[in-house]
Each structure stands twice: as C-alpha cells, then as structure tokens.
Chain A
C-alpha cells in the first residue's frame, strides 16, 4: 500500500515487535483518502517536530453541544483530505465489553462516514472515532443512534463515566461498578450531551482499592468499592500458598501496612480492627483471602491532572456508602455534589480546585456530610481556624 506521501520517518515505526500505529493508519488508506493525508501531515510533524492541528472548533449534531470535537488541519491546502478531521466520541458500554457483531457494525458505519481510524479507547473511556467531516456528522449519528449507540461527553459537561470490569469478571469487586457506571451515565444524559457546567466533570467507578480505572487520580468523583467487617480467611488455601512456595512472612505479613496480620506456619490471623483494607494481602492470596461481607463504596472527590495549579488526587469525603441497585443514595449524593460545584465554581474551575478555594467545610455542609477522621491524613497543624455561629450553639 503506497499513498501519495513519502513517509520515511514513519516507516521506521513499522519495524519492531510491538503493534504499529503507522501500520494501522496505512491500513485505513484503503477506506478513503483521509488516512493518507493524515500520514503526510504526521510525517511533516516528525520532520519539523511540531503539530499541525488547529484548536478544536464547535461542530456537532443537532440538539447536542458535545460528543464531537472539531479538528482542522492548519495546512488544508497541503493536506486537503484532513482539512476537516473531527473526532466523534461514542459512549462505550460499561467495562468495554463488546460482541464481534456490534463492533463490526460500528466499523461498517465508520468506514462509510469516516477515516476508518479509531482509538480503542480514549483516555476518558469513549470509543473514539478519529477523522470525519462536518457534513457526515448528522448521518453517522442517525446510523449509530438508531442502532442503540449514543455519543459521549466533551467540553464543560458531564464526561462519559467509566469503570473497571467489576463483578463481570473479578472476585474482588465490592460494588457493581459496571451497573453503577451505566446507571449514572443514564441519569446524567442531559448534562452529558449539553455542556452547561463550569468545566468538565468526570466520574469513574472501581470495584476495589486496586482501582483499575484510576478513579482516584483521574475523576472529579471517584467511587471505589470497599467493605466493613472481617476479611474472610480460608486457612486450607493459606496452607496451599505456603506449600506452593510463597514466603508468607516476607510477601504478606511484612508488607501489610498496618501490621495487623500474623502467620505461625499453620494459621493466619488478622486483627481486622487495625486493617485499613488496602487489598495487598487479598490481591496476592486471592484463593485464601476475600473481602468482608458488608460491601459498599468510598466516595472521593477532586482528582485531576496538573493544569492549572498542580495535580490532585481525590480526597475521601464519604468513607462508606451503600451501593446497591437502584443506587439512589449514591445518585442523590452526586447530584448534591455537582449542584454545589455548579453554583459556586468560576468558569474552568474543577471541583477539587473549588474546594481548595472555598474550604472543605462549606462543601461538606452543602452536601450534608459530617466531619470524620477518615477524611484526613492528619488534623490541621496551624492554629488558624474558623468558627461559625452554628458551632457556638452546641
């Protein structure tokens, strides 16, 4: 397959054992002329060490304000087939599960209306279709939506929630992360498709503290499965691990962050009052140890990447909340969280940054959550603290 552009630098990236994205773009040249100009422009970027895409423009489908990111080449005369090269975000199913039939349907429509290139998946979780023109947006939306596939979020809106594989294939899932993700996505359809927030708002749901979807680092609202009560121990399986060569003292007992475990060669004991439920022992001895039986979620708030004043990891707000269908308690809490942020934030201010500006107390009071030691690593160190009239009444 040789296109009209010579790509000696990109061709270098077809060598080597790892799957090549250049080979993928070359394959898409069979679909239409877009991929070849994408290659030409990319080769130029490699040669001159800079990109040639303009800022995203406002394009979309009727009635929606998001889901499509306008993308235009800054060199439309040199690369006319990527003069428009818009991104379409299709909302992925929870857990990124597909059937071949569904994926082939998505491919067939995309070949008809777009470049034949995708991202499986985008950073937020959407199935990303890379490269189409403004006039193809309405037809492709009609084709996809009539078959049950909707657009994801973009701009200052609820962004497409995403989640780990959860109960579908993981013994550690303390909450039904896929159902929570699906139901919250449905609950926020209007907010997802019609950007009306101060800035983006991301929700991610992980079934346990392993946090496979990086909720604690990449979501304004992080929902992470946890439990109360004792870790369930199968002593026979503990013995099997020991017999199988695991150094239980070094690998499990000595690595426990709270020093709450012991093993005398016969019995494993856990002082569950001291356990902070970090998941290390359970993840390493999955046949022998299981989370306790009272399951729920921890809610953490505020994580984001460095722009503008530094990265944030999410902060614990609600240590434990029941998360059983239809997830009413959870949904009500998130509604209150977003309402406070929406009422108070400046444009382009994420909720974590707003809490830094306003303080944790007004936020917690607004959402009706009491102060608890689980919310802090340690209490404040300085002697400067506020009192309000309500404190004097008690």
Chain B
C-alpha cells in the first residue's frame, strides 16, 4: 500500500481546531471559575456562558486502548472535546451541564480516579524510569503508583492547606520538575563509577568526557587511552556516563532514592523555591518502595497538621524553621544535609537566632 505524501516543518496542528465552541466564543473572555468538587469545576465567561471541566488521573503511560476509551467517553458526553493538563491528568470539557454528573458517574464506575483540583495532591510529575531510560537508577512509574495508591484520598476527596505538588525523577538529570516540588523523590548514586578502560578508548571522546565532570574529578590517562577518576572529588552525578557509556555509574546494590521538600514554582506570596534535601537515601525496594511511601506520608501528615491555610510545604517550613521541620517529622539530620557544593554559601546559617 502506498504511503501518503510526507510533509516537513509544518509544526503542530493549530490548537483552534480542537477547541469546543464555548471556548472559541469566549476565548480570553473568562470571568471566574469555581471548584465544584475535587474533580469538577465550572468556568463562567463575561457573557454568562459556562464550561464544565471533569478531571481524572492518568498513569501518564497510556495504551491506545485506554486513550480510545477516554475518547469514547468524550464523544458520549462532551462532543469529543478533551485536553490533558501539564500534570498528566485528563480533562473532559463539558458544555452541557446536564451531562456532567452522568459523565462523572460513568468515570467512577469504570474506576477512573476523579479529582486533583484545588488544595490537594494532584498527579505526580515523573520520568521514564526503568520502563524506557538508560540513565534511570530507579523506576519512576512504580514509585508513583505506590505513592498514589496510598495518597489516593488526597486526590479524590481530602483537603490540605494548599496544593501539594509531588514529583519523581529517576536520576539527577531530573526530566521531572523535582527541583521545585513540594515533596519529591530523586534517584541518586552513592559510588564512584567503574571504568571499562578498553571501551572508553574505543567509544569516547576523552576531552568531552573530562570536561563533563562538574568537580574536575576526571583526568585523561593518555598512556592507556582512557581516563582516571579522583574518587575524593566524585559526587556520583553520572554526567560522565551520559557522554561516555563505558563509565558505568549504575550500582544496583548502592543506588536508591532521596526525598526533597519545600520547592515551589508559582510566585504566589513567596518567591519560587528549590526543593531541599529531607532524607538522603532509601534503598530501592521494588515493587512498592514501602519506606519511601511511609516517609512521604509522614511529611504530608505533619504538613497538614501544622501549616496555615494557603501555605505551601516550603512556606510552612520557612515560617517554622528547618530545625523545627526535622523535629516535627522525626527525620534525622545528617552530614549529607549540609551543602558542600555550589549552594554552600547560601545555605549555612549566619545568625545567632535559631530554635531547638
């Protein structure tokens, strides 16, 4: 069968063709919105037109079968109009109010998780993990599933002081937004990579490999056409592995995950913040990473009990102080918590005022 004529550099289809009529006629003219339930909201336009949104979770990895099922529901209840959110949720865009409740009922009956809107836990931003990445030192989707099974009520019903944005990154490349999330998991290495000298010489460009190291731990070894690593300087980032695969950073018995907290993206109230280290290490415990899940639940619960309304995790911690955060959560403070890299000057305490 002949293939159709290919086109190049056409770019994405223009979004306008995918907008429901109520959006087209009220584009840029929305007046306000109301969260009706944790999974539904209403947008009202200047002229009074209404749009109802129903949000459900997705595991981000979707089969075409499930996408077709979602499409069938969109055709049945909202003329086929739907969108995805930046956090991998599905939103059905319902113009006819009377169809919203039946849609929600069918979604629930089909075991879709309806929720994620407002001051609660939304979907976890995450990376590919062992499913599809060469660089992964944990599985992202597996941890996400294990965490969200436990936090499911915080997606569908329970309220928190504010939104809690979770993220999981399966290595420090952080394709997910771990570095600015309320609570996040990032996979880390703890051992200096092993060097396959013979293949380094064959496969790698030595200058590129040397310059890839942020701590200048790598030196060329011209005699053997390879490199050497100063073990005292290496902080296991794996950037050398990215440019030179025979420098093997993976070490299954010593790799694992860290938990970071207190990051935020929005400029609301306080400036956007990086996440900071809460727990330096857990071993990988597939399939359900129980210690990681318990640790996240603990941090979330302590936040829920102690934060003021509208405070994000990082805002709450900054108000009470990090010394209080470690006390309230019972998390041990270790040498790993004290920054000895680029942020050291910004993070050491330079005041005689602190708490116990």
Contacts and interface: CB of A to CB of B under 8 A. Distances in A.
Given A146-B6, A169-B30, A189-B9, A51 B310 contact: no
Interface string A89-128: 0011111111111111011001100001111110100000
A267 interface: no
B142 A193 contact: no
Interface in A254-290: 255-257, 278-280, 283-284, 286-287
A297 interface: no
Given A143-B4, A189-B11, A10 B287 contact: yes
A147 to B, nearest CB: 8
B74 interface: yes
A158 to B, nearest CB: 11
Interface stretch (A18-26, A330-338, A359-367, A384-392): A18-26
B54 to A, nearest CB: 13
A150 B12 contact: yes
A145 B64 contact: no
B342 interface: yes
A329 interface: no
Contacts of B309: 250-251
Interface in A322-359: 346-348
A18 B27 contact: no
A215 to B, nearest CB: 8
A212 interface: yes
Interface in B225-263: 237, 239, 242-243, 245, 250, 252-253, 255
Given A119-B60, A121-B88, A313 B274 contact: yes
B177 A217 contact: yes
A130 B12 contact: no
A46 B130 contact: yes
B199 interface: no
B354 interface: no
A186 B272 CA distance: 30
B61 A53 contact: no
Nearest to B127: A123
A119 B177 CA distance: 16
A103 B252 contact: no
B59 interface: yes
Interface in B277-315: 284, 286-288, 309-310
A307 interface: yes
Interface of B: prevailing SS:
loop
B82 interface: yes
B141 interface: yes
Interface in B54-91: 57-68, 70-72, 74-75, 80-86, 88, 90
Contacts of A287: 31-32
A39 B104 CA distance: 32
A257 B61 contact: no
B190 interface: no
Contacts of B90: 120
Contact of A107 (B64, B131, B139): B64
5 contacts: A104-B68, A118-B62, A142-B5, A182-B14, A210-B266
Interface of A: 9-10, 12-13, 15-22, 24-25, 27-28, 30-31, 35, 38, 42, 45-56, 61, 63-64, 71, 85, 87, 91-104, 106-107, 110-111, 116-121, 123, 130-131, 138-139, 141-143, 145-150, 162, 164-165, 167-171, 173, 176, 178, 182, 185-186, 189-190, 193, 209-214, 216-218, 250-251, 255-257, 278-280, 283-284, 286-287, 305-311, 313, 346-348
List the 4 shortest-distance A-B pairs measured between CB atoms, nearest first.
A16-B149, A100-B71, A100-B80, A146-B4
Given A18-B148, A307-B174, 7 more contacts: A18-B57, A22-B145, A87-B132, A95-B83, A142-B6, A171-B32, A182-B12
